[in-house]
A and B are shown apart, each in its own frame.
Chain A
């Protein structure tokens, strides 16, 4: 494409700005566009506070029910206060369930034509997805902050604040990786009602057949083989050890490998699907 053929198009001031934009500016647009889309998604959240309230009540309720209903019985298996075992696990559960919002949010945007609008703009291709996944991760982070407070009230204590916060960061990174799985699913499912179900059904086996709620040692062998090696357990164990004051570099390394692996698969997959998705 020569300069000459471009001439007729460069007639608006915005366009001239765009043509003059260097590679660096175009690269930076990935971030500014993501920021703008993320703000839009967060505004949506904060203007519908009931969404945030119910999204918070449910895991806090789980936390209380599990602690007081199962806690006494499970204490023997975990060899300590169940809250110390449960809280890190339930934080992992909460943050990965935030990816459901990504699935549903994207399918709603698709069905209402918002994605078409975004795709017709000269914006960063990845920003619609990144703005969504980052906003949902922020939302998940708000929820787990409230859960930490609830946990503190009913007796959870960090052994080591530095390690504890590192554990929470690891949990958030894992949750963010999962929002990209959620984005991929949302772009394939498209229909908002189907997305409601498709968005979380696949997470049940991952969260229950795991070390989130109970230790895996009482599970049958075949299930245990899965439960001990699947990413949710691997990350939950690393986070739990960090939050209770144990730093185990090997464990953290394996958890990080999973997180990076999920990013490497689902980020390109969802961006690719986004580029070709036809909303109707």
Chain B
């Protein structure tokens, strides 16, 4: 059913005592598309995935997956979804093959069908060489691939991946992205949670940003970044007393008012093109005899998205720049 929504959550609440894990979340994942659920630790991402995959009961709200009411028909939902959780949920003592065959048998596939499917998946996830080794000997990336393979055993049309690359190094993460892209190229609907803007940007067709149990923004990656600078330049001046002066001088290079921290001498510029602007930054400051202690060019992070949406950084940390919403864009409901 093209154009329909394979995953629907409407006004979902889940409180754990005082903690409002989900405080009225609504979202929809279009059939055959990748929905990225982006948010910091503790935003409620895992809670929502657990509710959508029948593992947890919400306090209230409507949840439908593949057209089936999740709260009323758990087993039917389990038959059509695949789930790979935050921790690679594979048996360490068993071999990779045994793990996959076991999952296949628990989907009530025959012995032969389960064996064949396991061999197919091992090949697809580049685990054939390690297939008959105990999972204890696997690397982190291999475990994640096996976990992902386990979630694909029944060829589900709807897949949930909860932070599939958390804890992986950069190379394994990029390999994982490639794997995920291949997985869903045949029209699988995927809901993917992540803490990384870059990951959501790479993989997701649409992104929903959640924080403290609320949806605070949604749109395509381009829409979310439309009002955001392409690059950021982090500058630390050697003499913090000159922070304001540096900020004034550099203001014209930045697409927004620079963020400053005068205690530490930090100035953050949002720029259209980092590579060009960084040379100008050096020239301007050099010309005024302001010494640079540190200079960094970086891509926007989830933190910048949060700053732009909520005017607040994700983490209350000591290096937090001044609270200033420099885009002030809030979700228009």
Contact = CB atoms under 8 A, between A and B. Distances in A.
Interface in A40-55: 40, 43-44, 47-48
Interface in A91-122: 112-114, 116-122
Interface centre among B57, B105, B108, B109 (most CB of A within 10 A): B108
Nearest to B1: A8
B108 A18 contact: yes
Interface stretch (A9-17, A59-67, A158-166, A214-222): A9-17
B54 A119 contact: yes
Interface in A2-36: 5-9, 11-12, 14-15, 17-18, 21, 29, 32-33, 36
A225 interface: no
Interface stretch (B70-78, B169-177, B215-223): B70-78
A47 B134 contact: yes
A45 to B, nearest CB: 9
Interface stretch (B89-97, B122-130, B296-304): B89-97
Contacts of A43: 93-94, 98
Interface string B48-89: 001001111100000000111100110110111101011111
B79 A15 contact: yes
A119 B102 contact: no
Contact of B83 (A12, A32, A117, A278): A117
A153 interface: no
Contacts of B154: 12, 14-15
- Determine the main DSSP class of B at the interface with A: loop
A113 B50 CA distance: 12
A146 B28 CA distance: 59
Nearest to A279: B55
Which of A5, A47, A117, A278 has the most B CB atoms < 10 Å from its CB? A117
Contact of B107 (A1, A5, A112, A122): A122
B93 A47 contact: yes
Contacts of B325: none
A121 B106 contact: yes
A21 B85 CA distance: 29
Contacts of A113: 85-89
Contacts of B134: 47
Contact of A120 (B54, B72, B94, B157): B54
B56 A278 contact: yes
A247 interface: no
B240 interface: no
Interface string A160-188: 00000000000000000000000000000
28 contacts: A6-B67, A7-B67, A8-B1, A8-B4, A12-B80, A12-B155, A14-B79, A14-B108, A14-B109, A29-B108, A32-B108, A36-B105, A40-B91, A40-B94, A44-B93, A116-B50, A116-B89, A117-B90, A118-B106, A119-B54, A120-B81, A120-B83, A121-B78, A121-B106, A122-B107, A123-B108, A276-B57, A278-B55
Given A47-B93, A117-B89, 13 more contacts: A1-B69, A8-B66, A8-B67, A9-B80, A12-B80, A14-B155, A36-B102, A37-B106, A43-B93, A117-B150, A121-B78, A122-B76, A123-B108
